[in-house]
Amino acid sequence: MGADKKKIAVVGATGRAGHHVVDILKSQGYDVAEIARSNGVDVITGEGLSDALAGVEVIVDAATGPSADQEAATEFFTTAAKNLQEYGERAGAERIVTVSIIGMDRSKGGYGAAKMAHERVTQSGPLQAHILRAAQFHEFVPQLIDWGRQGDVSYVPEMRTQLVAARSVAEAVADLAISPQASASGGPISEVAGPREERLVEVAKLLAARRGDPARVEERSDPDNPDREIYEGGGLLPGPNAILAGPTFEEWLEEAY
């Protein structure tokens, strides 16, 4: 490793986006501290965190909450963010890059509100913070089909989105970790999304057909979802300064299945 290479910590190092961030950074010669409970480091209790952050200049927070419940998710994200800021400052870290979700700044409740609390706590700490808001991952669609399965029908939320591959999000995260100038927006918050708008139900049907799933896929508007208007009205779509990165969902599907 070259002397000018930063040491970068990746929180959620075994997760959907995090493991890609680790892979990308290591392939470029960076020393990566892989932070995950499976590696003996707990960002909630602080167990192992001081040692894991020793010598780190930049922290990537790509952790996902263990629950979709607003209260539980908020407790997880805010505690983790406070600990990363506190332990990070103590270790001499300079910056933190946190992965969030496009449109959650308009969230009225649920997981989206928890992510906004996450952003606020991250930005209020002593370390310079950059928030990268991502669109829904291609890899999330199979989960939604399975979660919505009722007999021979799978109901997915009515949603307009601009799906993006987890690997593409990780590439944007890695760029920001390496250089704060990588932000397309020029500010403390940027966005990354896929190359085109999709309706969730249409890509879910493509996936079901591709893997031979007998379930009939239908979309459903959930009146109990506090963010229903955001989902259905285009609130999850990226702004004009977003990074747009392939592959499309269909291209990803060809590779993944």
Residues 32 and 50: their CA atoms lie apart, in Å, by 15
Output the six-digit token pair for 214: 């007998």
Distance of CA 126 to the CA centre of its chain: 22
Write out the chain's pLDDT in tens, 257 residues.
Answer: 445 689 999 999 999 999 999 999 999 999 999 999 999 999 999 999 999 999 999 999 999 988 889 999 999 999 999 999 999 999 999 999 999 999 999 999 999 999 999 999 999 999 999 999 999 999 999 999 999 999 999 999 999 999 999 999 999 999 999 987 766 555 799 999 999 999 999 999 999 999 999 999 999 999 999 999 999 999 999 999 999 999 999 999 999 99
For 7-256, which CATH superfamily applies?
A: NAD(P)-binding Rossmann-like Domain (3.40.50.720)
The CA radius of gyration of the chain, in Å to the nearest whole number, is: 18
* 75 burial via Cβ count (<10 Å: 0-12, 13-18, 19+): middle
- DSSP letter assigned to residue 39: G
Tokens 């609130």 identify what position? 235
Residues 243 and 39: their CA atoms lie apart, in Å, by 32
For CA atoms 100, 101, 106, 107, give the dihedral sign. Answer: negative
* Whether the model pTM is above 0.85: yes
Strand partners, 160: 199
Contact at 8 Å (CB) between 61 and 98? Answer: yes
Residues 167 and 252: their CA atoms lie apart, in Å, by 11
Domains in the chain: boundaries: 7-256
Asked if the bond preceding 238 is cis, omega within 30° of 0, the reply is: no
pLDDT of amino acid 184: 56
pLDDT of amino acid 1: 46
pLDDT of amino acid 180: 76
Output the six-digit token pair for 136: 């829904």
Strands 216-220 and 189-193: unpaired
Contact at 8 Å (CB) between 66 and 76? Answer: yes
